[in-house]
Amino acid sequence: MWKLYIKHFKGHLTLERGLSDNSIEAYLRDVTKLHQYLELNADTTAPEALTEEQVLGFLQYLNQLGLAAHSQARILSGLKSFYKYLLLENTVQTDPTQLIEAPQLGRKLPDTLAYPEIVQILDGIDLSAPAGPRNRAMIEVLYSSGLRVSELLDLQITNCYFKDGFIKVMGKGNKARLVPIGSDAIKFTEIFIENFRSQIEPQKGHEDYIFLNPRGKQLSRVMVFLVIKEATAQAGIDKKVSPHTFRHSFATHLIEGGADLRAVQEMLGHESITTTEIYTHLDRDYLRQIITDFHPRARRVVRSY
Task: Catalogue the active-site residues.
Answer: 148, 172, 244, 247, 270, 279
Q: Are 92 and 79 in contact (CB under 8 A)?
A: no
d(C-alpha 240, C-alpha 175), whole Å: 30
Cα(38)–Cα(27) distance, rounded to whole angstroms?
Answer: 17
Burial class (CB in 10 A: 0-12, 13-18, 19+), 278: middle
Write down the H helix ranges in 131-257: 132-145, 149-153, 183-195, 221-234, 243-256
Where would I find the beta strands (DSSP E) of 154-193?
160-161, 166-170, 176-180
DSSP string, 66-105: T--HHHHHHHHHHHHHHHHHHHHTTS-SS-TTTTPPPPPP
